[in-house]
Chain A
Amino acid sequence: METDGKTTKPTRRMFASQAAALAAGWVLTACGPKRLYEAPRAQLKKAIEDMERQYRERLGVNVSVSDAPPIPGVEFAYALDLSRCIGCRRCVYACVKENNQSRDPQIQWIKVLSMEKDKGIDFSAADPYYAPAEVPEEGHFYVPVQCQQCRNSPCTKVCPTGATWTEKDGIVVIDYDWCIGCRYCMAACPYGARHFNWAEPEIPKAEINPNTHYLGNRPRPKGVVEKCTFCIQRTRAGRYPACVEICPVGTRKFGNLLDKDSEIRYIIEHKRVLVLKEELNTAPRFFYFYAT
């Protein structure tokens, strides 16, 4: 330190405070927050460029990764008409294709449960492996289950690293780079909606969907958890999720809960609506209803 042309030795206090300030500065800039949740915009842009470059090198596909933020004034919700679903599983495979789910080992975000009309909604008597020649089967109805995007989500509460959270538009997302694969969230989810990559995911190169979102369908590594994101890459661009568009019987409905003219609001106001496992107080944004 220089005062009046003389050098004085730094005091212990000065050294300690300046070293602390330097360390803090280094932490905040160089190795700063890496979670995508809290990354500043510029850092996010850079992280996404890195992702795109890595995908190009690793997969040989030009994957574009979107960083579209939540749209202000939008809270997504979903409704599924139990009186119409015929259990054809078109949604399951449209979802697999759109969201780059591993074909082997098989990961499917949507599970369609076949239930008996006599028993009603009874998960202990539900069969996901039904395979008749034609659906619907006599005396059966079908309950497709995927992430319920809970308002009171048990999965985000148990994550020890903060790698999963609820976005402002109501979508529960996962930061695949921050997930340590402990699978606490899978144990916490009462809907079986989260899936683990036990092995390196395999997708034929020609079938990779290159339109991705950093919190959604970008290709995942081995050892992380993944789940339905309401097709975040589509819905934040104004489109319907892939499962809504493919459904041949129009059983799947999607929209903005905060828009009083949306389909979702019409359904909630006019139809008989229920949520799965209501007693657990998870408060899903995924509603089931009977249109007739």
Chain B
Amino acid sequence: MRLAILILLGIAASGAASDPKAPFAPAASAERPAGERLDVPAPPFSEGIFPCSNCHASMPVNRTRRTLTDMHTDIVLKHDEAHRWCLDCHDATNRDFLHLASGERVAFTESYLLCGQCHGEKLRDWRAGVHGRRTGNWNGTKGYLLCVHCHSPHQPRFRALAPLPAPARPARPGD
């Protein structure tokens, strides 16, 4: 009996020890785009901004959280700005990439993986074709967009639009 408990404990301990590493690799590779569904257009960069390494390659990395004054002053962060700043999503060692909370690097073309860390249910719906705009064929290749095509990553709230004209009121006799 005692032996059995010891063996069980041993199995549990070894399982726990190997766990932290195990889920990472397969989960990350399984999330990589496969097939037509995640064929997304290139991210909507501002003109001339990418690749970031064009400027950043020659600059020292300053990891101190601060308000930017020389460049990128047009970016106003309204996306949980109390808790976050540039380098929480942008990778400092390779400027042409983003990174997940785990530190794993993610290309700009796969930025939905980054968004999905917090907005998991939106990513799930988006994969199923339910969140976001669909174009193309209902029974063939569906057109997907990246999160950032509709939501600015820095100010993700959807902007208000001017509505198209209201319908004409029906004419009544005597009008």
Contact = CB atoms under 8 A, between A and B. Distances in A.
A156 interface: no
Interface in A271-292: 271, 291
Interface residues of A, number: 41
B138 A235 contact: yes
Contacts of A259: 139
B64 to A, nearest CB: 37
B135 A266 contact: no
A238 B139 CA distance: 6
B134 A250 contact: yes
B20 interface: no
A240 B163 contact: no
Contacts of B140: 238
Contacts of A235: 138
A132 B163 contact: yes
B139 A263 contact: no
B53 to A, nearest CB: 33
A136 interface: yes
Contact of B160 (A135, A245, A291): A135
B interface bracket (residues with beta carbon within 8 Å of A): 20 to 34
Interface in B139-175: 139-140, 150, 158, 160-169
Nearest to B168: A106
* Interface SS of chain B: loop
Nearest to B167: A108
Interface string A83-116: 0001111101100000000000010100100000
B131 A291 contact: yes
A33 interface: no
A45 interface: no
A240 B138 contact: yes
Chain A CB count within 10 A is highest, among B132, B133, B158, B169, for: B133
B129 interface: yes
B125 interface: yes
A244 B129 CA distance: 12
Contacts of B23: none
A134 B134 contact: no
A239 B164 contact: no
B167 A131 contact: no
Contacts of A130: 163, 166
Interface in A233-274: 235, 238-240, 244-245, 247-250, 253-256, 259, 262-263, 266-267, 271
B162 A129 contact: no
A263 B130 contact: yes
Contact of A135 (B135, B161, B165): B161
A291 to B, nearest CB: 6
Contacts of B162: 88, 133-135
Contacts of B150: 248-250
A240 B164 contact: no
B163 A89 contact: yes
Contacts of A25: none
A86 B161 contact: yes
The 6 closest A-B pairs by CB, nearest first: A250-B133, A89-B164, A134-B160, A263-B129, A250-B132, A238-B137
Interface of B: 125, 128-140, 150, 158, 160-169
Given A86-B158, A129-B167, A134-B160, 9 more contacts: A87-B163, A88-B161, A131-B163, A132-B163, A136-B160, A240-B135, A245-B134, A250-B150, A266-B130
